[in-house]
Copies of this chain bind each other. A is one copy, B any other.
Amino acid sequence: MAGAGTDDTPLRPLERVLETVLYVDDLDAAERFYGGILGLQRVSRRDGLFLFFRLRRQMLLLFLPEAAAENRALPPHGARGPGHVCFEIPEAELDGWRAHLERHGIAVEHLQNWPGGGRSLYFRDPAGNSVELAPASIWGLGEG
């Protein structure tokens, strides 16, 4: 590990993002989109503050930015403007996802053919965040 390895107490390299955060302006709309259309498992919601989803080994945390910035229980955060997230899908399911989104009235904004192979599907969540579905192969990462 580049950084920690130079110290007396070697630390294991960071291997996983545990919490990915996006900011939204409407928790109801976000729940319909991420829970209903994308099918993520909701684990917690506090009206006026947050909505949390669980993936297999990670969390997606959605916050109202003004509330997260004023929350005194934990270090404040809160960004404005469109963020971006990409969820992994199997390469073979991209067309199925496109059809699924269109059936739910979600416009596909862009379909990217990557030079090294693989395709990404881009669309927007109700808050305007850029959401992407892509196979891990676009980064040279194996599936699984």
Binding site for B on A (CB under 8 A): 1-5, 7, 9, 11-21, 23, 35-41, 43, 54-61, 63, 65, 68-69, 74-90, 93, 96-97, 99-100, 103-104, 109-110, 112, 122, 124, 129-130, 132-134, 136, 139, 141-142
Contacts and interface: CB of A to CB of B under 8 A. Distances in A.
Contacts of A54: 139, 141
* Copy count, this protein chain: 2
B56 A15 contact: yes
Q: Nearest 5 A-B pairs (CB), nearest first?
A: A19-B86, A3-B39, A79-B79, A1-B39, A15-B56
Tell me the interface secondary structure of chain A in the complex. mixed
Contacts of A12: 89-90, 93
Contact of A82 (B59, B79, B99, B104): B79
27 contacts: A3-B38, A3-B104, A4-B97, A4-B100, A7-B103, A9-B100, A11-B39, A11-B97, A13-B39, A14-B38, A15-B57, A16-B56, A16-B57, A17-B55, A19-B84, A19-B134, A20-B85, A54-B141, A57-B142, A58-B141, A68-B84, A69-B81, A74-B112, A76-B82, A77-B82, A77-B84, A77-B130
